[in-house]
Structure 1
Amino acid sequence: MNKRQSIRSRLLLWIGLPFTALAILALISSHLLLSRQINATFDDLLLNAAQRLERRIYTADGELRINMHYFSISTLGSRGEGKIFYRIKENDGDIIAGFSGLTDPPQTSHEPVFYDVDYAGNALRAVALTLPFRRGGEPVDIEVVVAESKEARHTLTNDFMITLTGLMVVTGLLAISIALLAIHLGLAPLNAVSQALRQRSPNDLHALDDAAPKEILPLIQSINHLMQRMRRSIESTQQLNADVSHQLRTPVSEIRALTEMSLKDASQSPAHTSLREIQRIAEHASHTVKQLLKYAKTRSELVDTSHLESVDLIAICHDACAQTAPNIYKQNQELAFDQQKAIPNILGDPIMLRWLVTNLIENASLHAGGSMAYRGVITVALTADARQVTLTVSDEGTGVEEAQLCKLTERFFRHNKHTPGSGLGLAIVEQIATTHSARLALTNRPQGGFEVTVTFPAI
């Protein structure tokens, strides 16, 4: 049996197979019993016909005669569907009437003898009676044989079996319907658990309701135990992120501060160049640590989407532009913000959305110029329709090779080796977009430059 076969299919199989076997057995038994009963009934009719035939025998002028026409005999036991053959003769062998070719019974007895015989290409059922009679005062034994073809017996048996088979089929269909209903009702608690799990947020790890039948209670308890372990694991991971943030950011900040102080005191010292390199490395380490922490915090499996709220994306973009504008203008770049008049709110986390917009602006500022410093415009635009809100961050730079577009969201992948960076900016953007059920698209602009589009479902 296939291990992936559904419980419903297994139950139907194990209900259907025994029922089918019992139905076949019942049909075979019924056929045997019906054939036996019908044969007994027809044998009684055949015996009655023979006895009635015996009463038609009389003596005339010392001779035995019969006053019954053949065609009246044919209606006695055959229901008009078969053939009747008879023979009346004395025990000494003289035929009084009937068909002389009928086979004699296997034994002679004063009791009725039933036997099967073939005559004139017909399979017959015959009864033989030996009766005492007087002919002119002289005793004589007369043998009466009446035979009937078996068509009527077979027809009646077949009619009964067809009717019984039809009843079996109808009963089987009713039984299958009842079984399907019973299975559906029996599996309803499992379906309820499955539906409850499907409707949950991926981050909702609260225990399932254990008010369920005792057969599936162990399954629910196991799921609840697994959810509890996962919740503890996530809490431990989040605590680790907080510890890493505290343990790494503090010493890196101290290194940067000490380096800046040393540079002021040693402006003419031979160690000045080394201190500058230490400062650069410390700033890169500080930036990388911040990005790593953001990457860890924005993993979709660690974010509880049930806590997302209605967010004004216009305000988020304003804050991100205000945060990045000083550095943008310092590098002789321009920052533009374009929006429609009405932008509906989206469901999201305001902090993560601010990280998303900030990362996109900083990514364009660092990498838009390729090997040269970028001096163009970075445009942040918001558009919307009835069902979605689209955020677009674009530049007028050199763009990205088409073969490398699909790699830009990989961790630590850096398309532009000429500028500093951690290689995590677009990876963080992708995770935040996934958490907010948004679509992320990275494309080159036809007029030149690179464009990132994030499409959010509107509330």
Structure 2
Amino acid sequence: MTSIRSRLLLWIGLPFTLVGLLTLVTSYYVLSRQITETFDGMLLNAAERLERRIYSVDGELRINMHYFSISTLGSRGDGKIFYRIRDAEGNMLAGFDGLDDPPGSLDEPLFYDTRYAGNTLRAVATTFPVVRSTHSDQIEVIVAESTEARENLINEFLLTLTILIALGGLLAVTIALLAIHRGLAPLRSISRSLRRRSQNDLEPIEAEVPREVSTLVASINGLMQRMRQSIYNTQQFNADVSHQLRTPLSEIRALAELAVRQPDAPRARHNLHEIGRIAESAGYMVQQLLTLAKARHELMDASAMTEINLAETCREACTEAISRIYQRGQELEFCAADEDSRILGDSVMLRWLVQNLIENASQHAGGSQPYRGTIYVAVCHCPDGMQLRVSDDGIGVRPQQLDRITERFYRASPETPGSGLGLAIVDEIARAHGASLAFDSPPGQGLTVTVTFPHTRPNGPTADPAR
């Protein structure tokens, strides 16, 4: 994986190199046109200067060679000059007869490329009138120059421009390196701060960072917060297990010692019966604690949820609980709407939710007396999504207790058996699914627990909807 520094240098250097090459290509065409126009102007000026050197004597055309030489044509001295002068009848007056004729008419000065004596030439051809005794005549003048001077001048300009672009590129890379070094300083500072921390230091990063880095810092702080919460949950779980199992284990040990010391067989059988009951209660407590640990909403991955049929999941949970409910002299009634009841969720956790709601109604609906009524489970649609309702015909819960019944180990009726974790597990599973949990207990009409699942995917495991 390449570093950020390398990527930044690449994305700075590559465009600059492309711009430099484009500049060189564009400059070549622009300079070629400008230099060609300048040199063509010099050639035309040299041809026009010949007009002043030609005169007529007794009807014959002559050239004043005393004032005219090749050097007067205006060459920079880097190339070769060729010229040709003819009259209207095609008679040579001066110059090089082997120069090619112009490719078109000479109504105006004509520039063209040609070759002569192994030289590549740029030529201009023009005509001007000359008076011969009693009549006027036209003189054709061709002046040509080899292209070495033009090419050398273009090369000099391009070489100079290339050097300037290279120096500018080196300067830009140097400035970019400095800017990258300074720009990445907050990341290096955060890295050093994290390396200096101990493995148990999960406090948020408190540092002044640029706006672009603040998102990264916020993500790291969020991760640390989730790690702290996870560690806290683990520690809390260990404390809960230790606290809740200490008492039943002590009772089991005391009853076992009494059973060994007492010779009375009926009394010993009673103690052994109590040992079995306490052991069963302790086993149920451990099972509920493990379920609570697995159902923590902070650990739930919302992206792993799948589309499930809520009614079918509730029917499976009722089927598993029906035999236990009948043994206790109770009835279980399940009702589901015929419409589509699909939601996004985890089927195993939702079965735990339904089973704990049924078990809570079965054990606590009657208060201090065993419940002998019916437990109702219903799935239906509502404007906010899908609703699951579990209700009973028991004594209900006092209004001042409704806000506490989802607390761990809290029981509205302490005289009834149970772990005090059932509704806490229901609350965690509901929060993990982005669902809301509501309780309703009119006086003397039992308790109704309503879980409302949203239509859309829940926001994630950290969502904490209003209950």
TM-score (norm 2): 0.50
Amino acid at match of 1:183: I
Q: CA RMSD in A?
A: 3.1
2:174 partner SS: helix
Whether the 8 Å CA contact 1:89–1:142 is kept in 2: the answer is yes
**Aligned positions, number:** 263
1:219 match: 216
- 1:216 deviates by 2.2
1:107 match: 104
1:228 match: 225
- 1:90 deviates by 0.3
2:100 partner SS: coil
Note closer, same or farther for the CA distance 1:150–1:71 as it changes in structure 2 (3 Å cut).
farther
1:152 match: 149
1:20-99 pair list within 5 angstroms: 20-68=17-65, 72-74=69-71, 76-99=73-96
Instruction: Write the deviation string for residues 343-370 of structure 1: whole angstroms up to 9, x where unpaired.
Output: xxxxxxxxxxxxxxxxxxxxxxxxxxxx
1:445-456 pair list within 5 angstroms: none
* Correspondence 1:165 to 2:171: no
1:406-417 pair list within 5 angstroms: none
Whether the 8 Å CA contact 2:81–2:146 is kept in 1: the answer is yes
1:198-277 pair list within 5 angstroms: 198-209=195-206, 211-241=208-238
Note closer, same or farther for the CA distance 1:172–1:71 as it changes in structure 2 (3 Å cut).
farther
Is 185-194 or 238-247 further displaced after alignment?
238-247
* Correspondence 1:174 to 2:167: no
- 1:125 deviates by 0.7
Unaligned segments of structure 1, at least 5 residues: 266-459
Distance in 1, matches of 2:10 and 2:67, equals 59
Amino acid at match of 2:70: I
2:134 to 112, 115, 137: 137
Distance in 2, matches of 1:232 and 1:84, equals 91
- 1:188 deviates by 2.2
Deviating above 4 A after TM superposition, structure 1's stretches of 4 or more consecutive aligned residues are: 239-265
Whether the 8 Å CA contact 1:53–1:68 is kept in 2: the answer is no
Distance in 2, matches of 1:106 and 1:70, equals 31
1:216 partner SS: helix
1:59 partner SS: strand
Instruction: Write the deviation string for residues 26-51 of structure 1: whole angstroms up to 9, x where unpaired.
Output: 21111111111101110111111111
Distance in 1, matches of 2:66 and 2:84, equals 13
Whether the 8 Å CA contact 1:114–1:126 is kept in 2: the answer is yes
TM-score (norm 1): 0.51
Distance in 2, matches of 1:164 and 1:237, equals 69
* Correspondence 1:121 to 2:122: no
2:69 partner SS: helix
Instruction: Write the deviation string for residues 402-431 of structure 1: whole angstroms up to 9, x where unpaired.
Output: xxxxxxxxxxxxxxxxxxxxxxxxxxxxxx
- 1:130 deviates by 0.6
Amino acid at match of 1:114: F
Note closer, same or farther for the CA distance 1:222–1:31 as it changes in structure 2 (3 Å cut).
same
- 1:61 deviates by 4.5
Amino acid at match of 1:149: S
Distance in 2, matches of 1:109 and 1:246, equals 115
* Correspondence 1:6 to 2:32: no
Distance in 1, matches of 2:97 and 2:67, equals 14
- 1:173 deviates by 1.5
1:44 partner SS: helix
2:93 partner SS: strand
Amino acid at match of 1:47: L
Whether the 8 Å CA contact 2:53–2:67 is kept in 1: the answer is no
1:184 match: 181
